[in-house]
Each structure stands twice: as structure tokens, then as C-alpha cells.
Amino acid sequence: LKIDHEKGFGVASLRGPEYFSVIDMLYHVAPLLDRFWWHKQAGWLTVSLEKLDELKQELKAYCRKVITDEMLQKTIKVDTTIASHELTADHFHQIDSLAPFGEWNREPSLLLQWAVVKHKQLIGKTNNHLKLYVQSHDKVVEILHRSKADLIDTFTLNESYDLVVSHRRDSDRRYLVGE
């Protein structure tokens, strides 16, 4: 929120997650706004400073009413299950053929089931990345969790996990990244 005390108003930019309609929220508080505009999942508003406190209360009340605990649960979309024998250069070339990846063409999320953690370590200059070595059937696979060092205690050695990963390529090196 940017406040201009001389002109007596505040301007805000809003973003919302997929499950939340910024448009509906803005219409709900429209009587308190000087003006507002929006597009899918985003909005902008102008409010007079005399109405700012009331607006904040109304926005909080609206969110408490509309947002459920289920909405706040992180959901990971999985495109397909991948077996260890499919973790090959040929399979990764097939994934690469789907590029370019972006907002309208997401890189596939792959579910690696029953992966047994064999080794885990923190890597990077500041040890902020977690690297797991997991065994899936007869193959040991490396999975990098970028900026997820805090997850190291989540994984127990020799325990089995279902892991959601995606394929990455840096130069000629290919690897899996944890979601």
C-alpha cells in the first residue's frame, strides 16, 4: 500500500492465488473505494485515507469468511507417475521435446513412488540446498531441493517416500528437482 498524505489517498496492488477471486473481494468492498480495476487474480485500488481503516477491517473479515482451511492446503499437481527404469537420457529427451516451458506449458511434474532415502546432504556455498540420494527399485537417483535445507530432518534414511520431481537441464547435465 502506497499512501500519499498530501493528496489524502492510498493506492494498492493485489494478487491472489488460484482459489481466491480478487474480483469478488473488490466488488464486496467497492463502496469503500474511490476506484478499482482488475484482471484475473489481480487488482488495483484507490482508497481515501478516511476509509482506510474500515477497508482493512472489511478485507480481513471477507478473507476470514471466504478462505477455508482446505484452500490453504498446498496442492501439488502431478502429471504422471515415473518408474525408475524410465529415468533415462532418452526419457529426458522426450520431456525436452515438449519445450519451451512457461506459464502456458508447464514442465511436467513426475511422481516417483516408493523412493527410499539412502543419503542426504546440504550443498551450496551456504548449505542452503538439500540433495537426496534415493533408491527406486534397482536405481539410485539424485534429487535436488533448491533452497530447502530446512527439509533435511523431514527425511529419514532408509524410509520410503513418494516424491514429486521435475526434470532440469543445465548445459549437458540433467537432474531431478524436488517440488
DSSP 75-137: -----EEE-GGG-SHHHHHHHHTTPPPBTTBPPPPEEEEEEEEEEEEEESTTS-EEEEEEEET
Q: pTM here?
A: 0.61
8-state DSSP, 142: E
Instruction: Report the alpha-carbon distance of residue 38 to residue 42 in Å, rounded.
Output: 6
Q: List the chain pLDDT tens, one digit each, 179 residues.
A: 899 999 999 999 999 888 889 999 999 999 999 999 987 778 999 999 999 999 999 999 999 999 999 888 888 889 999 988 888 888 888 888 888 888 788 888 999 999 999 999 999 999 999 999 999 888 898 899 999 999 999 999 999 999 999 887 766 666 677 77
